[in-house]
Amino acid sequence: MAIKFQYNKTALGDLDKQLKVRRRALPTIKSKESALRVEVKRAKTTAEGFRTELDDLSARHEYMVALWGEFDPELVRIDDVRLVEGKIAGVKVPVLEGVDFSEKEYDLFSSPAWTTDGVELVKSIGRLVVESAVYMRRAELLDRARKKTTQKVNLYEKVQIPGYEEAILKIKRFLEDEENLSKSSQKIVKQRHQQEDKKMAAKALEAGKEAAA
């Protein structure tokens, strides 16, 4: 990263402040990145757990497959999925409060005996599908935030901090060279003045001798 700066003490102070800000922030950003990694994995594992539960539920009721042709799909449907907003590691995520179903009335005497069980099974399947989808969405949002945080860590750690350190070093070397050059110049001027003073003192002494003669 090419950092623009001027070779003076003001620029040195500004760069030093920016460097300190990034050095202080880096551990916090790294901690957030680690926390997000854990939460992404947890959300995915939970979603997969719901999918496994769904598969197990389907397997346990596989004997009913032949009967589903008699089931009226209008008997039960998802009426509302109640979601609220939560926060995990500073990231807004969906939190499932509940799944509301609407049921159509049916005649217990004319409907198949297993209809009531079928309605409850459809509800269970619906809940598991929704819960899995919510946690997958949560995993996506957390992973997106994790990627941005990783980019920021890399930007600070591999680009900006080394860039500021290099710029500060260049300015310090320049100021040191400038100071050394100034000291050398002052020393030369001082030596010249001393030589001139000696010459003037010698001339004065010679003039005094001539006057005395």
Say if 199 falls within a structural domain: no
How does pLDDT run across 147-185, given as a tens digit for each residue?
999 999 999 999 999 999 999 999 988 888 777 776 666
CA 202 to chain centre: 76
Say if 117 falls within a structural domain: yes
- State which residues form the domain around 126: 9-159
Amino acid 164: pLDDT: 93
Amino acid 199: pLDDT: 64
Cα–Cα distance for residue pair 74/105, rounded to 1 Å: 10
Query: Which segments in the chain show pLDDT lower than 50?
Result: none
Cα–Cα distance for residue pair 134/63, rounded to 1 Å: 29
Amino acid 59: pLDDT: 84
Say if 174 falls within a structural domain: no
Say if 102 falls within a structural domain: yes
Cα–Cα distance for residue pair 154/148, rounded to 1 Å: 10
Split into its structural domains, the chain has a count of 1
Q: The pTM is what? A: 0.74
Say if 4 falls within a structural domain: no
Residue with tokens 């594992």: 45
Q: Kindly give, in sequence order, each residue whose CB lies less than 8 Å from that of residue 74, ignoring residues fewer than 6 positions away.
A: 104
Backbone dihedral angles phi then psi of residue 108, each to the nearest 5 degrees: -65, -30
Say if 134 falls within a structural domain: yes
Residue with tokens 């949560």: 138
The upper half-sphere exposure of residue 87, i.e. CA atoms within 13 Å in the direction of its Cβ, equals 3
Amino acid 129: pLDDT: 94
Q: Which CATH number covers residue 19?
A: 1.10.287.3240
Amino acid 134: pLDDT: 96
Amino acid 108: pLDDT: 67
